[in-house]
Structure 1
Amino acid sequence: MNEELSLDQSSLVHAWQQQLPEYLNPGDSVKVEADRGNPQGLRIHIDAEGRQYYSFDFECSYMDPREVRVELVDVERDGVTINERSEKIQELTEDYVRHLHECAQALHRITNPT
């Protein structure tokens, strides 16, 4: 059974923008935007802390009010797209995906208020 998400996209973006920094490293910065092609989706851009100048772009889609699908769209280093298959990038990506799922869990109170 695929339930619809009852929250409008702009409220979702605002909730994620407020909540997500709590799940990231203190020096990371994040920008959450509506996914224009998916009313149940978000685009999340994370600038990783540190001197490496890595940035990650994720697509986060609500499958239902409780479950999100997270996909890595792009990884850049100092503004240039890099190979995301390196071990360090894989580890960072796995960490961020886990944090995005944790944030989605924390937001159940507004996405699945029943």
Structure 2
Amino acid sequence: MNKQDGLRIGQQQLAEAWQRTLPDTINETDSAIVKPDEANEQALRITIEAAGHQMYSFDFRVEYVDSREVRVELVDVERDGRSVDERTEIIQQLIQDYTRHIHECAQTLHAVTKT
């Protein structure tokens, strides 16, 4: 990230803004927890708990490439506290949906992150 287009908001405030905004962009029955990424001040850790009896939990790492664009990386998928094979069709579809919702949230927060 070049300095001219870097984030002008602290990581904790950014995480709080995401925590307020992300629940509006994901499915109403799902829940999300957003925390600062301790290893990278330009990144956040997002855990999305899928609603329903599947009990899936998706962990994403979201890194700001610049003040407008985020890179979303799946870290892990768990079911009932155990890692699962994320290559199944249903899980791939959920990953795509959540990735899209995360990008939508980033766009919504553009007013907060732009220089």
TM-score bracket, normalised by the shorter chain, equals over 0.9
Residue 74 of structure 1, CA deviation: 0.1
Deviations 1:46-105 (A, max 9, x none): 100011000000000001100000000000011110000000000000000000000000
Return the match for 1:45 from 44, 47, 52.
47
Return the match for 1:28 from 22, 27, 30.
30
Root-mean-square deviation (CA, aligned residues, Å) is 1.0
Question: Which amino acid letter does the alignment assign opposite residue 70 of structure 2?
Answer: V
Deviation beyond 6 Å, 4+ runs, structure 1: none
Task: Name the SS for the 1:84 alignment partner.
Answer: coil
Corresponding residue for residue 77 of structure 1:
79
Using the alignment, how far apart are the partners of 2:33 and 2:16 within structure 1? Answer: 10
Residue 26 of structure 1, CA deviation: 1.2
Aligned residues: 113
Residue 104 of structure 2 corresponds to residue 102 of structure 1: yes
Using the alignment, how far apart are the partners of 1:107 and 1:17 within structure 2? Answer: 11
Return the match for 1:9 from 5, 8, 11.
11
Provide TM-score, normalisation by structure 1. Answer: 0.96
Using the alignment, how far apart are the partners of 1:6 and 1:109 within structure 2? Answer: 11
State the identity as a percent: 57
Task: Name the SS for the 1:56 alignment partner.
Answer: strand
Unaligned runs of 5+ residues in structure 1 are none
**Greater relative contact order (Cα 8 A, min sep 6): structure 1 or 2?**
2
Provide TM-score, normalisation by structure 2. Answer: 0.95
